[in-house]
Amino acid sequence: MATYPREIGRQWQNPEHIDAWFADRPRQSDHQRLRAQLVKLLPFEAGAAIRVLDVGAGDGALSRDVLSVYPRAEVVCQDFSDVMLTRSGERLAPFSGQVTFVKSDFRDPGWTRPIPGMFDAVVSSVAIHNVTDHARTADPGRIRGIFAEVFRLVKPGGCFLDYDHMYAPGPVTEEVYRKVRAASQADVKAEDEMETRVRGMELKLHEAEGDNDGPSSNLAAATSRTVQTHLEWLKEAGFDEVDCFWKEMRFAILGGFRYSG
C-alpha cells in the first residue's frame, strides 16, 4: 500500500491552516466563480431531482452551489477532515433533509465503501490534487485510481466534473505562467504572503511530530497533474466523453460523461 506525506492529512485537520486558507479572499472569490461555472456544466435541467456526490466537499461551498441550482437534489458530502465536515454541516444546515455526510479518505483505495449507491453526478472542487501535493512518498498515480473509483459511482447517463489545480506540461509553459502572474504585482504579493503563512504552519506541524525533512516537490507527482494526463486517465477509467471545459493557467475544470453500463 502506498504511503502519503503526513502534512497532507495534518493541514486539513488543523483549524489554523483552514482559517488561513479561507481568509485569502481574492483566491476564494476565484474559487466561488469557478464552482459556479462547474455547476453550469452539469447536463441536467434546472430543478431536476438528481443525486450528487461532492468529493472532498470541504466546507460545503460546492454542494451549496449545486443545491441552489437544483433545489430538489440529494447530495452526499465526502471528506476526511472532521473540521471540514463540521463546517459543511453548518453551511448546509438549511438543506439538512437533502444532505448526507460521509467521512472517508480518498488517499485510501477503499474510500468509496461507506458511500451509498450511485450518482447522476460526481463533482469535486480543489481537493483531489492533495494526494500528490509535496509528494515525496505519495503515489503519483493515486489520482488515476480515484478517477477509476469515481467512474464506478457514476450512473449511466451521468458525469464527473472536477475543478482543480494543474501543473504546467513543461518548463516553457511554466515560465509563461510566471510571466503572466508577474504582470499583477498585487496578486503576486498576496499569493507570496499566503504561501509564507501556510509554509510556516506546515513547518510547525513537522516539528511537532519530529519530521524534519519538510515538504518536497516530486517530478512524478507534477507529471500526474497535467491536464493531458488527467484526460487520459478519465478515458482509461471508462468515461465515454472527456474534455477540459475551462482552463486558466494552473486551474482547470475537466471531466467525463458516461453513456451506459
Does residue 41 carry a pLDDT above 50? yes
| Residue 17 confidence (pLDDT) | 54
pLDDT at 22 over 70: no
Cα 51 from Cα 117, distance rounded (Å): 10
Region of 128 on the Ramachandran plot (φ > 0 left; ψ -120 to 50 alpha; else beta) = alpha
pLDDT at residue number 178 = 85
Query: In Å, how far from its chain's centre is CA 233?
Result: 16
DSSP for 121-167, please give it. Answer: EEEEES-GGGGTTT-SSS-TTHHHHHHHHHHTTEEEEEEEEEEEE--
Q: From residue 171, give the alpha-carbon distance in Å to each of 134, 154, 168, 223, 242.
A: 18, 36, 7, 12, 26
Cell of 116: 451509498
Q: Is 92 exposed, middle or buried (0-12, 13-18, 19+ CB in 10 A)?
A: buried
Domain topology for 6-169+217-257:
Rossmann fold (3.40.50)
Of 116, 83, 82, residue with least CA distance to 100: 116
Condensed to tens digits (0 to 9), the pLDDT of residues 207-247 reads 444 444 433 344 555 556 799 999 999 999 999 999 999 99
- Confidence (pLDDT) at 47: 86
pLDDT of amino acid 170: 86
Rounded to whole angstroms, the Cα distance separating 207 from 199 reads 12
Amino acid at 48: A
DSSP 95: G
Domain range list for the chain: 6-169+217-257
Question: If you average pLDDT over every residue of the chain, what do you get?
Answer: 81
Q: Please list the alpha-helical segments (H only) found in 1-56.
A: 6-11, 15-23, 25-40
pLDDT, one tens digit per residue, over 144-186 is 999 999 999 999 999 999 999 888 888 888 888 888 878 765 5
Instruction: Say if residue 192's pLDDT is above 80.
Output: no
Rama region for 156: left / alpha / beta (φ>0; ψ in -120 to 50; rest):
beta
Confidence of residue 9 (pLDDT cuts 50, 70, 90): low
Do residues 69 and 145 touch, judged by C-beta distance below 8 A?
no
